Amino acid sequence: MNNDAFSQCHPLTNFLFFVGAIGFCAVIQHPIYLLAGAAGAAGYYLLLNGRKGWKLIGGLIPVFAVLSALNPLLNTYGKTELFTVFGRPYTMEALLYGMVIAGMLAVMILWFGCYSAVLTSDKFVCLFGGLIPSLSLLLVMILRMIPSLTRRAKQISDTRKSIGKGLTGAEGNKEKIQGGMRILSALTDWALEGSIVTADSMRSRGYGCAKRSSFQIYRFTVRDSVLIGLMAVFSLGTMLFGGVDAEFTPEIHVDNPTWGLVCYCAFLVIPLLLHGKEAVCRSIALKKV
C-alpha cells in the first residue's frame, strides 16, 4: 500500500474519487478545466511515484504533440485556414480540438495510473467481491495480466540468454523472429495453464459460495464520510454552476469559467490536501515528542 494519506482511506472513498475525476475528464472539453485536470493528475501521480513519475509524464508530451498535429489532417472542419496539406485545409479550429482530445487522453492515462496504484486488487475485490464475486475476480485477473505477462516474458528471455539462445545473439531477422515466437509460445502456454490452475483452485476453495472476507480489514471512518461529502458537494457545484461548455468546430466558442471551476479544482486536490494535512499533523506530533 502507498504511504500517502488518501491511499489509506476506505476503498469506497478511493473508488468514488476516481470515478469523479475520470468521469469529469471524459465529458468536459473546456481547455481551462483540462489544464486543471492535468495539474491535479500530474501532482497526485508524482506524489505516488516520486521522480519515476516524470518518465510517464515526459513520455506523454510527444504523444500529445503527435495527436494534436494529426487531427487537422483528418478533420478539416474550421474557418481559420493556416495552410494546406496535400490540397486539404489545415485549420486552427481542428488543431485546437486535436489538442483538447489529446490532452483528455493524457490526463486520463495519468488518472488511471493513479487508480492502479491506489485501488489495489484487494481493495477492488473488497468493494465488489460480495456483489459480483465472479466478475470482480475476472476484472482483477485482467488488470494484473499485462504486468504479470511482462515480468514472465522477461524471465523467459533471461533464461534463454543464460543457455545461449538469447535474441541479442541471433544472427539475422529470421532467427530473431523464431526466438520471439518461441518466447510468445512459452508465454501463452504459461498463461493458459495458470488460468486453469487459478480457476480450479478458486472452485475448490468455494469462491463465491458464501460471503467473502478480505485479506485486510477496511473500516469506514468519520474521515471517509467527510471526504465523500466534500466530493459530492464539489461535484454538484461543478455541474450546477456550469461554465464547462466548449466548441471548436466549425467555430470556437468557449464559456467563461465560473464557480464551477473552483469546485472542480477543489475536487481534484482532495488527495493532495489530505496528504499535506496528515504530513503537517505528523510533523507537529514529532516536534512535541
DSSP of the chain: --SSTGGGS-HHHHHHHHHHHHHHHHH---HHHHHHHHHHHHHHHHHHHGGGHHHHHHHHHHHHHHHHHHHHHH----S-EEEEETTEEEEHHHHHHHHHHHHHHHHHHHHHHHHHHHS-HHHHHHHHTTTSHHHHHHHHHHHTHHHHHHHHHHHHHHHHHHTT--GGG--SHHHHHHHHHHHHHHHHHHHHHHHHHHHHHHHHTTTTSSPPPPSS-----HHHHHHHHHHHHHHHHHHHH----EE-SSS-EEPPP-HHHHHHHHHHTHHHHHHHHHHHHHHHHHHH-
pLDDT (0 to 100) of residue 21: 95
Structural domain containing residue 167:
133-204
Residues 40 and 112 placed together within one structural domain of the fold: yes
Residues 40 and 103 placed together within one structural domain of the fold: yes
Instruction: Read off the pLDDT of each residue in 28-39 and give the average, rounded to a whole number.
Output: 94
Q: Is the pLDDT of residue 144 over 70?
A: no
Q: Is the dihedral of CA 186, 184, 166, 158 positive or negative?
A: negative
Instruction: Tell me which of 42-51, 87-96, 106-115, 184-193 is least confident.
Output: 184-193
Residues 107 and 224 placed together within one structural domain of the fold: yes
Q: Is residue 239 part of a domain?
A: yes
- What is the percent of the chain where pLDDT is above 90? 42
Q: Beta-carbon neighbour count of residue 50 at 10 Å? A: 9
Residues 53 and 103 placed together within one structural domain of the fold: yes
Residues 118 and 32 placed together within one structural domain of the fold: yes
Q: How many residues does the chain have?
A: 289
CB 102 within 8 A of CB 67: yes
pLDDT (0 to 100) of residue 208: 61
pLDDT (0 to 100) of residue 190: 82
Q: pLDDT (tens digit, 9 = 90+) per residue, 189-199? A: 887 887 788 77
Q: Is residue 209 part of a domain?
A: no
Q: Is the pLDDT of residue 131 over 90?
A: no
Instruction: Tell me which of 17-31, 110-124, 179-193, 197-211 is least confident.
Output: 197-211
Residues 69 and 94 placed together within one structural domain of the fold: yes
Q: Which three cell numbers stand for residue 252?
A: 470556437
Instruction: Read off the pLDDT of each residue in 246-257 and give the average, rounded to a whole number.
Output: 86
* Closest to 111 (Cα-Cα) out of 222, 242, 18: 18
pLDDT (0 to 100) of residue 129: 65
- Position with higher pLDDT, 86 vs 267: 267
- Local confidence band at 142 (pLDDT 50, 70, 90 cut-offs): low
- Local confidence band at 153 (pLDDT 50, 70, 90 cut-offs): confident
Instruction: Read off the pLDDT of each residue in 246-269 and give the average, rounded to a whole number.
Output: 90
Q: Is residue 72 part of a domain?
A: yes
Report the domain count for the chain: 2
pLDDT (0 to 100) of residue 282: 82
Q: Is the pLDDT of residue 224 over 90?
A: yes
Instruction: Read off the pLDDT of each residue in 34-41 and give the average, rounded to a whole number.
Output: 96
Q: Is residue 118 part of a domain?
A: yes
Q: Rounded mean pLDDT of the chain?
A: 84
Q: Is residue 214 part of a domain?
A: no
Instruction: Read off the pLDDT of each residue in 33-44 and give the average, rounded to a whole number.
Output: 96
Residues 101 and 200 placed together within one structural domain of the fold: no
Instruction: Read off the pLDDT of each residue in 259-269 and give the average, rounded to a whole number.
Output: 95
Q: Is residue 172 part of a domain?
A: yes
Residues 49 and 109 placed together within one structural domain of the fold: yes
pLDDT (0 to 100) of residue 3: 73
Residues 125 and 257 placed together within one structural domain of the fold: yes
CB 241 within 8 A of CB 263: yes
Residues 44 and 178 placed together within one structural domain of the fold: no
Instruction: Tell me which of 46-60, 201-215, 223-237, 238-252 is least confident.
Output: 201-215
Residues 109 and 228 placed together within one structural domain of the fold: yes
pLDDT (0 to 100) of residue 243: 84
Q: Is residue 212 part of a domain?
A: no
- Position with higher pLDDT, 238 vs 140: 238
pLDDT (0 to 100) of residue 1: 46
Q: Is residue 144 part of a domain?
A: yes
